[in-house]
Every structure is written in C-alpha cells, then in structure tokens.
C-alpha cells in the first residue's frame, strides 16, 4: 500500500490515506482506501501513468 492525499466527503477535509491502486469500470486507475479518522471510503483518481 502507498500513501495518497484525498478529500474525505464526510470530514470535509483533505486527508492522507493508505490505499491501493485499482482499475475502475471505465479503465481509469484510482487509489482506494479508508479515511484514517472516520473510516469512510476515499478515492483518488490517478493519471494514465499510474502503476
């Protein structure tokens, strides 16, 4: 797992979260993980060169 910065909708703040890269249904890649404060699922869309 790597660390990413994303926006938590529930906390309404930017947070750093541990996430893993997954491929979405449309073929784009995104980092998905949990907010360390509230436990809500967070997503961060990544660029084309993401691994």
- 2-45 per-position pLDDT tens digit: 999 999 999 999 999 999 999 999 999 999 999 999 999 999 99
16-19 own/partner pairs: CB under 8 Å, 24+ apart: 17/42, 19/44
Q: Where are the domains of the chain?
A: 2-45
Q: Is the pTM of this model over 0.75?
A: yes
pLDDT of residue 38: 96
Contacting residues for 34 by C-beta, under 8 A, at least 6 apart: 17, 18, 40, 41, 42
Residue 46 pLDDT greater than 70, yes or no:
yes
pLDDT of residue 14: 95
**Residue 43: strand, helix, or coil:** strand
Answer for the pair 7, 16: CB distance below 8 angstroms, yes or no: no
pLDDT of residue 51: 65
């Amino acid at each position: 797992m790597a660390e990413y910065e994303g926006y938590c909708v529930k906390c309404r703040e930017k947070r750093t979260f541990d996430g893993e890269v997954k491929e979405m249904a449309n073929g784009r890649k995104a980092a998905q993980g949990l907010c360390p404060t509230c436990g809500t699922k967070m997503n961060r869309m990544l660029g084309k060169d993401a691994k």
